[in-house]
């Protein structure tokens, strides 16, 4: 559409939204230029056009959109309380029937593990990348009361759900708690504007770990901290095995690239790795037992098998700028 091309051309010359440079590191989103377009267009229309341009630049995998947007994976019995993660089962006894409350507790515990390593302070500005329904952001805001908590997700339906489900919490914590659509490859924040960035079981779906690493580095202030937890292949051999065992790998939903590629992506942009842990033993056993209890998401069996065969593990990575 010509109008979009013209607007895109105008924006390219006046306002930059994290377009990658030739060195792979995203440029500033906050360059100042002629504000005429902001005066000429109502804010709502301007933002709508930006969303359209963003969607064209960073298209969402169709199956990913269906899984987390149209069908809402959180509604599956395997995932409880509005959370969509495998859970952290370290302190939950697995020798008996797992209750729904314990399943929710496992999902909450995964977030609490990340919060612990974020070293949250009241003066922090924090972003969650891949926030889903926003439960983690709300829990963080209510427990720690930082200056700001922003949940970002590339699935528009998830952001709409987060805003609807947590309407009261957003109002109670206004203006510090918010949710907005955005890509891991193009975070909607100025350079050096955040003190903490985290992602809970979403990075395995990011289309480019290199782009995410560059964006996290860009938006973080010097000394800022990044904490990521997700599952990836243990090696290149493991990755090739996963391509055969887990169809969504080749379908572009769960990339599950070798973990050393993940670590390398962060280190290449300049991050210092503070800590690296494989925590699969506290993730997959509990998930498998719960899944068998509720007889749900049969595809998760292949994740359990892959972990037991050493093709896959679950990782907690703490990094600093």
Give pLDDT tens digits for 212-248. Answer: 999 999 999 999 999 999 999 999 999 999 999 999 9
Q: What's the pLDDT tens digit per position in 150-204? A: 999 999 999 999 999 999 999 999 999 999 999 999 999 999 999 999 999 999 9
Give residue 273's pLDDT.
98
Which residues, including other chains, have CB under 8 Å from residue 297's CB and lie 6 or more apart? 76, 78, 291
pLDDT band at 60 (very low <50, low <70, confident <90, very high): confident
Asked whether the beta carbons of 215 and 184 are under 8 A apart, the reply is yes
What ranges do the domains of the chain cover? 2-57, 62-320
Give 264's Cβ-side CA count (13 Å radius): 6
Range with the poorest average pLDDT among 16-20, 94-98, 206-210, 275-279: 16-20
Taking the model in full, what pTM does it have?
A: 0.82
Q: Compute the mean pLDDT over every residue in the chain, rounded to the nearest whole number.
A: 86
Q: What is the mean pLDDT of residues 271-278?
A: 98
Q: Is it true that domain 62-320 has CATH number 3.40.50.150?
A: yes
Give 223's Cβ-side CA count (13 Å radius): 3
Which residues, including other chains, have CB under 8 Å from residue 113's CB and lie 6 or more apart? 88, 229, 316
Residue 303: pLDDT above 50? yes
Residue 57: pLDDT above 90? no
pLDDT band at 58 (very low <50, low <70, confident <90, very high): low
Q: What is the mean pLDDT of residues 124-148?
A: 98
Give residue 63's pLDDT.
78
SS3 74: helix
Angstrom distances, CA of residue 136 to CA of 10, 106, 130, 244, 253: 37, 13, 10, 33, 22
Q: What's the pLDDT tens digit per position in 12-35? A: 333 333 333 333 344 433 333 444
Residue 98: pLDDT above 90? yes
Burial class of residue 75, CB neighbours in 10 A (0-12, 13-18, 19+)? exposed
């Amino acid at each position: 559409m010509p109008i979009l091309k013209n607007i895109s051309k105008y924006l390219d010359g006046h306002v930059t939204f994290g377009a990658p440079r030739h060195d792979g590191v995203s440029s500033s989103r906050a360059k100042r230029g002629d504000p005429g377009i902001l005066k000429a267009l109502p804010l709502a229309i301007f933002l709508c056009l930006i969303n359209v341009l963003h969607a064209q630049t960073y298209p969402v995998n169709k199956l990913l959109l269906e899984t987390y947007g149209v069908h809402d994976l959180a509604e599956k019995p395997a995932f409880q309380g509005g959370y969509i993660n495998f859970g952290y089962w370290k302190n939950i006894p697995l020798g008996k029937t797992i209750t729904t409350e314990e399943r929710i507790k496992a999902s909450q515990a995964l977030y609490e593990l990340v919060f612990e390593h974020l070293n949250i302070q009241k003066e922090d500005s924090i972003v969650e990348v891949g926030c889903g329904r926003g439960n983690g952001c709300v829990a963080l805001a209510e427990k720690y009361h930082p200056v700001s908590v922003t949940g970002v997700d590339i699935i528009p339906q998830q952001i709409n759900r987060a805003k609807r489900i947590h309407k009261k919490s957003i109002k109670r914590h206004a203006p510090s708690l918010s949710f907005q659509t955005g890509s891991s490859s193009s975070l909607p924040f100025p350079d050096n504007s955040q003190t903490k960035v985290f992602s809970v079981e979403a990075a395995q779906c990011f289309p480019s770990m290199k782009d995410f690493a560059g964006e996290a580095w860009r938006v973080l202030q010097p000394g800022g901290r990044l904490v990521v937890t997700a599952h990836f292949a243990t090696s290149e051999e493991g990755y090739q095995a996963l391509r055969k065992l887990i169809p969504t790998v080749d379908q572009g939903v769960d990339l599950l690239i070798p973990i050393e590629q993940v670590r390398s992506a962060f280190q290449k942009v300049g991050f210092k790795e503070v800590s690296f842990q494989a925590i699969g033993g506290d993730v997959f056993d509990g998930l498998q037992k719960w899944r068998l209890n509720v007889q749900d998401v049969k595809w998760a069996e292949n994740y359990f098998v892959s972990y037991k065969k050493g093709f896959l593990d679950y990782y907690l990575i703490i990094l600093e700028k």
